[in-house]
Chains A and B, each alone.
Chain A
């Protein structure tokens, strides 16, 4: 305890011996006022910037307009992205073609032309084909008969559920074999 108070006294004496020299009390006063006013000025600048940037929040119509614009922007974004995502999802659900099949479009003979051939057999663009009228008639006759027989066959299958089931089973088996191959 005695040692502590001895140290304390020694420090006090040291501070008393090295105390600052007061030339002018007014200088100190000025310095303190300057320091305080500097602190206030930086706060005012920040407040000025905030007021400049966000002064609109106190003007009713500007505030309402900007809020509306923000809401519209967000709604438009959500709607646009939603539409795009929906479209992309639909596209990805579509069957994908195998590249090599891009050429399989070209069949050279359209099935729907059979009907037109039946009607306008002799009006076909001849180009360099040489077929007699009789041959053409035979072809058209054969196509007609084939179509009639095909329709009859389909009707027969439709009317007989057991036959239909059997054929469907066979078709499925054929498809499976094709995939295996």
Chain B
């Protein structure tokens, strides 16, 4: 047991080292009332690096030489030296941000990201909405909301520190049990989404040659059967697939022989999406006026925060949005005068009538 644990720790550490080249990145969007956005990116070298270079290919969020960049050397609370790169740029509209995303050549270039801004005049107030959206990687996957209830979803998307707050709060027993039940539900979600995605991709690839039994609808009817087969052979799925045993069980010997290449291509597309090479970062949003609604997490200075993890946008778009309002005082005055005017008119009428 001890040796197994050691193995796990060593392997995890190896994997962690591999994924640790990228800097700790926080993107802050300061939204202005006119729709312009001051975007700040703060990148910190990973802990324990004696020397660090910010390579474009490692950066999670795009920026170029049109940004004002400042480099500094700081000491972390642990006493380590940290290389910090701060970049800042004023974007006149979200379209400019979207163009930057389109030209991204960083580590997360394969994901589709965009920003949106909306200004709605609501007489007494003007409401502003800013959203950063990441498009889903899977086309045929299932929404997570079909597997987790509302509270579990909140818990799933919460950052670790918030999860701890929930787990030590008044409903601690409920939230502590979430962790265990959630894992199995998420496994189910991933398995079903994986099978659904494979069906979608495979049926598309064989569309022109295959018979009706390999059409999308026919395969979809057998989806649960495939999920069962996958769950039963979870441990040795990889070898069963490589040897063609799994495919034969799923679509029959004749079809398996004929469409092996297409089936492999489809599974490669699925795995590329699932094992997405994505480097995590955090998004912060500062809204104009008073914050009235959001799906983010507030810090003590009312700055909103979101973690950006690959699990969050596998099957559904991941939206980080915030709404704020600015009071239109002139509208309050105009409305007040109008109501007073109508009221006075009515009083005069009553007086004259009397």
Name A's B-contacting residues (CB within 8 A).
50, 53-54, 56-58, 63, 66-67, 69-70, 73-74, 76-77, 80-81, 84, 87-88, 91, 94-113, 115-116, 118-125, 127-129, 131, 135-136, 138-146, 154, 175
Whether B298 is near chain A, meaning CB under 8 Å from some CB there, is: yes
Residue among B12, B18, B180, B190 with most chain A CB within 10 A: B18
Residues of B within 8 A of A107 (CB): 160, 280
Residues of B within 8 A of A111 (CB): 183
Known pairs A57-B348, A103-B282, A127-B18 / 12 extra A-B pairs, C-beta < 8 Å: A73-B335, A73-B338, A87-B292, A96-B298, A115-B186, A124-B275, A128-B18, A129-B18, A138-B4, A140-B235, A141-B4, A144-B235
By the criterion CB–CB under 8 Å, are B342 and A67 in contact? Answer: yes
By the criterion CB–CB under 8 Å, are B311 and A139 in contact? Answer: no
Scan B290-317; emit 1 where CB is below 8 A from any A CB, else 0.
1111100111110101011111000000
| Distance from A44 Cβ to chain B, minimum over Cβ atoms (Å) | 16
Name B's A-contacting residues (CB within 8 A).
4-5, 7-8, 11-12, 14-16, 18-20, 24, 26, 44, 77, 122-125, 159-162, 165-166, 168-169, 180, 183, 186-187, 190-191, 194, 230, 234-235, 237-238, 268, 271, 274-275, 277, 280-282, 284, 290-294, 297-301, 303, 305, 307-311, 325, 335, 338-339, 341-346, 348-349
| Distance from B15 Cβ to chain A, minimum over Cβ atoms (Å) | 6
| Distance from B121 Cβ to chain A, minimum over Cβ atoms (Å) | 12
Partner of B298, one of A69, A94, A146: A94
Question: How far is B215's CA from A80's CA once the two chains are assembled, in angstroms?
Answer: 51
Tell me the total A-B contact number using a CB cutoff of 8 A: 186
| Distance from A56 Cβ to chain B, minimum over Cβ atoms (Å) | 7
By the criterion CB–CB under 8 Å, are A54 and B338 in contact? Answer: no
| Distance from A17 Cβ to chain B, minimum over Cβ atoms (Å) | 53
Question: How far is B7's CA from A143's CA once the two chains are assembled, in angstroms?
Answer: 10
In the complex with contacts A67-B342, A77-B124, A113-B275, A143-B8 CB distance below 8 A? yes
In the complex with contacts A57-B348, A73-B338, A123-B271, A105-B7 CB distance below 8 A? no
In the complex with contacts A57-B345, A102-B284, A97-B159 CB distance below 8 A? yes
By the criterion CB–CB under 8 Å, are A102 and B26 in contact? Answer: yes
25 interchain pairs (CB within 8 A)? A54-B344, A57-B349, A70-B343, A73-B335, A73-B338, A76-B123, A88-B292, A91-B293, A97-B297, A101-B160, A102-B284, A103-B24, A105-B159, A105-B307, A105-B308, A106-B307, A107-B160, A108-B15, A108-B16, A109-B15, A109-B19, A119-B234, A127-B18, A139-B8, A143-B8
Which residue of chain A has its CB nearest to the CB of B187?
Answer: A115
Question: How far is B280's CA from A111's CA once the two chains are assembled, in angstroms?
Answer: 14
Residues of B within 8 A of A119 (CB): 194, 230, 234, 237-238
Question: How far is B268's CA from A120's CA once the two chains are assembled, in angstroms?
Answer: 10
Residues of A within 8 A of B344 (CB): 54
By the criterion CB–CB under 8 Å, are B180 and A154 in contact? Answer: yes
Question: How far is B5's CA from A116's CA once the two chains are assembled, in angstroms?
Answer: 20
Residue among A67, A103, A140, A145 with most chain B CB within 10 A: A103
By the criterion CB–CB under 8 Å, are B15 and A95 in contact? Answer: no
| Distance from A65 Cβ to chain B, minimum over Cβ atoms (Å) | 10
Which residue of chain B has its CB nearest to the CB of A74?
Answer: B339
Interface of A is mostly: helix
| Distance from B192 Cβ to chain A, minimum over Cβ atoms (Å) | 12
Question: How far is B192's CA from A107's CA once the two chains are assembled, in angstroms?
Answer: 26
Residues of A within 8 A of B300 (CB): 96-99
Question: How far is B238's CA from A57's CA once the two chains are assembled, in angstroms?
Answer: 84
Question: How far is B323's CA from A84's CA once the two chains are assembled, in angstroms?
Answer: 11
Question: How far is B277's CA from A3's CA once the two chains are assembled, in angstroms?
Answer: 122
Partner of A112, one of B12, B20, B160, B190: B190
Residues of B within 8 A of A131 (CB): 11, 14
Residues of B within 8 A of A91 (CB): 291-294, 298
By the criterion CB–CB under 8 Å, are B274 and A116 in contact? Answer: yes
Residues of A within 8 A of B124 (CB): 76-77, 80-81
By the criterion CB–CB under 8 Å, are B11 and A139 in contact? Answer: yes
Question: How far is B17's CA from A127's CA once the two chains are assembled, in angstroms?
Answer: 11
Residues of A within 8 A of B238 (CB): 119-123
By the criterion CB–CB under 8 Å, are A77 and B335 in contact? Answer: yes
In the complex with contacts A77-B335, A94-B297, A146-B8, A115-B190 CB distance below 8 A? yes
By the criterion CB–CB under 8 Å, are B12 and A109 in contact? Answer: yes
Residues of A within 8 A of B162 (CB): 95, 97
Question: How far is B162's CA from A73's CA once the two chains are assembled, in angstroms?
Answer: 41
By the criterion CB–CB under 8 Å, are B7 and A116 in contact? Answer: no
Partner of B293, one of A50, A87, A129: A87
In the complex with contacts A110-B309, A112-B190, A98-B299 CB distance below 8 A? yes
